[in-house]
Structure 1
Amino acid sequence: MAKLLALFLLLLTLASTVSSEVTHEGVLQERLIKKTQKSRYGPGSLRSSQCPGECTRRCAETQYHKPCMFFCQKCCRKCLCVPPGYYGNKQVCSCYNNWKTKRGGPKCP
């Protein structure tokens, strides 16, 4: 009877260890996904060499392509981020959102 109880406790301990390792691995994977998604567009998420490509994407649907590209690349070099989409979403990159012209308007497209 004592051997059976010891075996049961051993199996229970082993099962909880495996379960906690799987849970721990899942938590680590979740954190990595969140970190990757968060840093994809946030401040400092780009290198300056990536700015032309990101600005081409950002300015693709505007009729003012040249000024959009000029200011987008200027903002990208300073902030090292470009918001997702073609318009808006500036809250994702605070530097890009908060840089203003002398008149107080938005500097970054």
Structure 2
Amino acid sequence: MAISKLLIASLLLSLLVLHLVQADQMVPTDGQKGHGSPKIDCGAACKARCRLSSRPHLCKRACGTCCSRCNCVPPCTAGNYEVCPCYASLTTHGGRRKCP
């Protein structure tokens, strides 16, 4: 009887430790958004996104702000907002889309 209680206690303790290890791996670090996803290179992503913009410095600045908040930038130079819903949902005080 004592052996079965010891076995059950060690099994429960093992499950608790496993759960804590998995939870620790899911915690965002370095200001990341999401669940442990790697931080993207916002500079390179925004450079690619804004390469055809008529106002590239303004585009890169707005894109950089959005990228740092959402940790994603839609591919290509325009559109594709469905790939990054957070990026698409950010708006200015006037209600216009903030992210290029």
TM-score, normalised by the number of residues in structure 1 = 0.56
Residues 54 and 46 of structure 1, relative CA distance in 2, 3 Å threshold: farther
Aligned to 2:61: 70
Percent identity between matched residues is: 39
1:47 aligns with 2:39: yes
Structure 1, unaligned runs of 5 or more:
1-42
Runs of 4+ residues over 4 Å off in structure 1: 43-46
TM-score, normalised by the number of residues in structure 2 = 0.61
C-alpha RMSD of the superposition: 1.7
Q: Which has the higher contact order (CA 8 A, sep 6+)?
A: 1
Residues in 2 aligned to 1:46 and 1:77: alpha-carbon distance in whole angstroms: 12
Higher radius of gyration, 1 or 2 = 1
Structure 2, unaligned runs of 5 or more:
1-32
Question: Secondary structure of the residue that 1:105 maps to in structure 2?
Answer: coil
Count of residue pairs the alignment pairs up: 66
